[in-house]
Amino acid sequence: MESVDGKYLAGTSNIENGGGVGVTGRFKFTPGTLTGLNGTNDIHRYQWSIGSTTFDKSAAPAADGSLTIAFTPLAGGLYQLNVRSVDKAGNVSHRRTPEPGTPANYESYQFHVPDGSGPVAHWPLDTDGTDVSPNSHNLTFTSGAATDPAGYSGGAFKVGDTSDGAVAPGQLVDTAGAFSIAGWVRVQPGAGEWTRTAISFDDDFASPVMLSYRKDGRTASYWSLGTSCHLSQPCVRIAWSDAPAAEGSGPTWP
């Protein structure tokens, strides 16, 4: 077996080659010795699992006997991909290079997934837009935006109008790669049909990433992750929260 895209090369060392937490890699299984009639491919199915020998995943190969799978790691560390093949008679494959005293009938492929990097920016927003990460990406408040002492932990960033906001200095995240965003947000009661955007990434015409409190014709407002709308780009909602978003009441943060 092999890495098709080179993101997760075989080995136990921390090789950074484009892979990482949340980054999908592709692996290809190919037949070893052809055991079918007249040297033909006799593989009926591949069975595989990652991190165990349960072989709980299974799929039929292509005509040439190969199969390409995708895997998206959700944590960094060392992984082991175990795979075996089953022929049309139900026989299970054995190791290409048998190990003395080892009855296992599978091949394994070890690879390392780099841990996620530290934060690009971290804004407590207690009293201002200072970035407390080593990168100093301080925010600039716009219009009537200000801080309020009654935050979730310490102060909070408070907006009351569509022109209120806080702007970071330039592009901080490459949206073509894996990234995460998080924050504590309190929406005042009575938001109704209005969309409230907590975090967004700017582009020439529309925002490619928006974390918003919105209704979109639903019976209640939910948090959603998606893109903004523009004439040349329709609205896209990638994910919705499992339950309606709670609204804060007084000093309460949902």
The pLDDT tens digits of the residues spanning 169-217 come to: 888 887 777 678 888 888 776 656 677 788 888 776 667 777 877 777 6
Contact 160, 187 (CB under 8 A): no
Asked whether residue 89 carries a pLDDT value surpassing 60, the answer given is: yes
Nearest alpha-carbon partner for 157 in 171, 173, 139: 139
Spatial separation of the C-alpha atoms in residues 148 and 143, rounded to whole Å: 15
pTM, full prediction: 0.55
> Which tops the pLDDT comparison, 93 or 96?
93
**pLDDT for the residue 11:** 86
**Within 10 Å of residue 2's Cβ, how many Cβ atoms?**
13
**pLDDT for the residue 80:** 94
Q: What's the whole-number average pLDDT of the chain?
A: 80
Q: Where are the domains of the chain?
A: 2-113
Classified by CATH at the fold level, domain 2-113 comes out as Immunoglobulin-like (2.60.40)
Contact 244, 228 (CB under 8 A): no
Asked whether residue 69 carries a pLDDT value surpassing 80, the answer given is: yes
- Rounded average pLDDT over 107-132: 88
Which range has the worst mean pLDDT, 70-79, 115-124, 161-170, 233-242? 233-242
φ, ψ at 38 (rounded to 5°): 60, 35
- Rounded average pLDDT over 233-243: 70
Contact 71, 27 (CB under 8 A): yes
Range of 18-32, 119-133, 165-179, 232-246 with top mean pLDDT: 119-133
